[in-house]
């Protein structure tokens, strides 16, 4: 310990470091990221810091982004696929403020895309990083709330309780009833929670060319899917994993899309159900392209 550092700054008001966190903290995060990349799908504990956003509001993803971000980066934040959702707006303005970084709404322009609950519709490239905000990193939480026991199950690769859980849902309901947060096996080894993305987005993660990082701030875990890694949903030979279906006639009311994940909405006047793209930036792009034509 240096006495100078104790006496260094005696100004009474708060003062802030680049990208909010102090440098040793960012270094720790980067080291833990490297470890996570080296062991695909394995949850690496880290000393999660309290952030200027509430726990459970994306602090894990935010810490990853702030540990990675530099002045040359371009940052994009989405929530439910939308850049305009309140938390995405807040996240983007926070990162721009503390890291003086350029932000974008265009998935293709970003170097770091931070997301809650979606994978963008446009495929990411190998030079882009997708950062997920994770509420519950433990995939076994559905069958074993005690982390100490779940940890042992991972160590022994004992996922029988999860298989049983899926079997029971088929036996009771004739279907696997897991909606979002569908459990996957990464690199043929670890069971992983892909965060609450819809099943629609899962196939995109399989053998993806880009790095996916997952940060759970409150639960203090980081994990990763390195580029070109297999991501396989749990399924039975006779009861397959299936992505969400939309009714046959469903299409985006704005851009006419029939091949994107749709938000289901109700028209205030007519009371009728209609749909729009969940990925608003993609929807805007398609709309613009269509209008040009």
User: Which residues ranging from 5 to 44 are in contact with another protein (CB under 8 A)?
Assistant: 5-6, 12, 14-17, 20-25, 28
Residue 261 Cα to chain centre, angstroms: 16
Nearer to another protein, 112 or 176 (CB): 176
Quick check: is 217 catalytic? Answer: no
Give bridge partners of residue 232 from the DSSP assignment: 185
- Give the angle 190-196-199 at the CA atoms, nearest 5°: 80
Residue 179 annotated among the catalytic residues of the structure: no
Is 277 one of the annotated active-site residues of the chain? yes
Return the residue matching tokens 């005696």.
10
Sign of CA dihedral 242, 248, 251, 256: positive
Which one of residues 56, 141, 163, 187 is an interface residue with another protein (CB under 8 A)? 56
Within a 10 A sphere around the Cβ of 233, how many other Cβ atoms? Answer: 20
For another protein, the closer of residues 133 and 229 by Cβ is 133
From candidates 57, 210, 214, 223, binder to another protein by CB under 8 A: 57
Neighbours of 145 (CB within 10 A): 10
Selected binder of another protein within 29, 103, 112, 118 (CB under 8 A): 118
Q: Which of 41, 61, 81, 217 is catalytic?
A: 41
Using only C-alpha atoms, what is the Rg of the chain? Answer: 21
Rounded Cα gap, residues 45 and 49, in angstroms: 12
Considering only 245, 249, 271, 293, the residue that binds another protein (CB under 8 A) is 245
Identify which of residues 186 and 197 has a Cβ nearer to another protein in the complex. 197
Piece of 34-42, 158-166, 168-176, 225-233 that binds another protein (CB under 8 A)? 168-176
Regarding 170 and contact with another protein (CB under 8 A), the answer is no
**Other residues' Cβ atoms within 10 Å of the Cβ of residue 90:** 16
Does 147 bind another protein (CB under 8 A)? Our answer is: yes
**C-alpha torsion 20→25→29→35, nearest 10:** 170
Q: How far is the CB of 201 from another protein (least distance, A)?
A: 9
One DSSP character per residue, 147-187 reads HHHHHHHHHTT--HHHHHHHHHHHHHHSS----SS--EEET
Residue 189 contacts another protein per CB under 8 A: no
Nearer to another protein, 200 or 210 (CB): 200
| Stretch of residues binding another protein (CB under 8 A), selected from 105-113, 122-130, 160-168, 193-201 | 193-201
Task: List, as own/partner pairs, every contact residues 173-181 make where C-beta atoms lie below 8 angstroms and the sequence separation is at least 24, other chains included.
Answer: 175/239, 176/235, 176/239, 176/241, 176/242, 180/117, 181/136
Answer for which of 38, 160, 177, 273 binds another protein (CB under 8 A) is: 177
Least distance (Å) between residue 24 CB and another protein? 6
Q: Is 158 in the site for another protein (CB under 8 A)?
A: no
Query: Which of 245/293 has CB closer to another protein?
Result: 245
Residue numbers annotated as active site: 41, 252, 255, 277, 283
């Amino acid at each position: 310990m240096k006495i100078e550092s104790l006496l260094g700054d005696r100004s009474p008001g708060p003062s802030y470091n680049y990208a909010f966190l102090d440098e040793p903290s960012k270094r720790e995060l980067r080291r833990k990221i490297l470890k996570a990349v080296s062991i695909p799908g394995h949850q690496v504990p880290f000393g999660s810091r309290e952030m200027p956003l509430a726990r459970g509001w994306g602090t894990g993803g935010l810490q990853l982004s702030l540990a990675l971000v530099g002045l040359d980066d371009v940052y994009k934040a989405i929530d439910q696929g939308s850049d305009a959702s309140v938390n995405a707006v807040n996240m983007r303005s926070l990162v721009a403020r503390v890291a003086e970084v350029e932000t974008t709404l265009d998935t293709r322009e970003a170097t770091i895309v931070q997301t809650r609950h979606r994978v963008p519709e446009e495929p990411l490239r190998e030079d882009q990083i997708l950062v997920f905000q994770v509420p519950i990193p433990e995939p076994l939480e559905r069958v074993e709330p005690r982390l100490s026991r779940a940890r042992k199950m991972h160590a022994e690769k004992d996922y029988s309780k999860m298989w049983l859980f899926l079997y029971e849902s088929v036996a009771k309901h004739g279907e696997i009833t897991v909606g979002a947060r569908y459990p996957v096996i990464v690199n043929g080894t670890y069971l992983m929670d892909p965060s609450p993305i819809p099943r629609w987005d899962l196939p995109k993660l399989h053998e993806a060319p880009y790095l996916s990082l997952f940060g759970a701030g409150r639960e203090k875990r980081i994990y990763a899917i390195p580029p070109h890694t297999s991501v396989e949903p749990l399924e039975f030979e006779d009861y397959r994993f299936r992505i969400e279906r939309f009714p046959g006639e469903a299409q985006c009311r704005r851009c006419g899309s029939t091949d994107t994940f749709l938000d289901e909405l109700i028209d205030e006047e007519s009371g009728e159900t209609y749909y729009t793209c969940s990925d608003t930036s993609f929807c805007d792009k398609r709309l613009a392209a269509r209008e040009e034509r």
